Amino acid sequence: MKSILIIGMGRFGHHLCKNLIEQNNEIMIVDKLESAVEDMMPLVTSALVADCTKEDVLSHIGVSDFDICFVCIGSDFQSNLEITCLLKELGAGYVVSMSKRVIHTKFLLRNGADEVIHPDKDIAERVAIKYSNDNIFDYIELRNDYSIFEISPLKEWIGHSLKDSDIRARYNISIIAVKDENSEMNVTLHADYVIKPNDHLMIISRKKDIDNVIKKLQ
């Protein structure tokens, strides 16, 4: 369980809040419009109607007490930037800012954001990758250029054990789990596991190395 502050309760803020609540986190929400927070008040630990571009508001909240502070203001970049900067100045431990324009990312990172997310761009990219290839079933982008892909096995892997395929050495990727045709997940793979035609492989590696495998799947 983490203590989380969400500033900005638009559409993304609502979705984020609901999902964080499902993970049993303690949530405080803030928005300058009462209508934006009233439906979530019964579900969160606390809620406040206030303008977070004002330093005294954030000081009163005590932002340093939260594990993570989210700034979910995508329509007003100036307010987003001001709040992000103030959060860090007031001792916030980890600040995640939302941006609808990639060009704003460097400004947010230079002024206090530990991480910047682009919901529309990230979802569009994930959907494009997933639906462009019938052999890609899901995809998660991680930090430092690493990604996790759920893919079909290459033909040359089918019928061979993980040890005999020597996938890690040949392709510089790691298979971290296998989902069988009944959607049962196996996360305790042994070297003698034999890859089957209908397996879904969960692989992790740098994006450039995964791309080499994906090209062979096309």
According to the model, what pLDDT value does residue 134 have? 80
Q: What is the pTM of this model?
A: 0.70
Domain count, the chain: 2
Same domain membership, residue 63 and residue 38: yes
| The three-state (H, E, C) secondary structure of 66-80, written as one string | CCEEEECCCCCHHHH
According to the model, what pLDDT value does residue 216 have? 84
What is the rounded distance in angstroms from the CA atom of residue 73 to the CA atom of residue 16? 12
Domain around 46:
3-117
Same domain membership, residue 100 and residue 145: no
The domain boundary, picked from 117, 145, 179, lies at 117
Same domain membership, residue 112 and residue 7: yes
CA nearest 100: which of 37, 29, 12?
12
Residue 98 burial by Cβ neighbours in a 10 Å radius (0-12, 13-18, 19+): buried
Both structure tokens of 38: 């009233």
Count CB atoms within 10 A of the CB of residue 152.
18
Q: Which residues pair with 186 in a beta bridge?
A: 178
The domain boundary, picked from 81, 96, 117, lies at 117
Same domain membership, residue 98 and residue 32: yes
Same domain membership, residue 109 and residue 62: yes
Per-residue pLDDT of the chain (218 residues; tens, 9 = 90+): 899 999 999 999 999 999 999 989 999 999 999 999 999 999 999 999 999 999 999 999 999 999 999 999 988 899 999 999 999 999 999 999 998 887 888 899 999 999 998 887 777 777 777 777 788 888 887 776 788 999 999 999 999 999 998 898 899 999 999 998 888 889 888 989 999 999 999 999 988 888 888 888 87
Same domain membership, residue 30 and residue 93: yes
CATH, residue 199 = 3.30.70.1450
Same domain membership, residue 138 and residue 83: no
According to the model, what pLDDT value does residue 211 have? 85
Both structure tokens of 127: 């959907």
The domain boundary, picked from 80, 99, 117, lies at 117
Same domain membership, residue 164 and residue 98: no
Same domain membership, residue 40 and residue 137: no
Same domain membership, residue 8 and residue 108: yes
Same domain membership, residue 129 and residue 95: no
CATH, residue 90 = 3.40.50.720
According to the model, what pLDDT value does residue 79 have? 94
Same domain membership, residue 199 and residue 156: yes
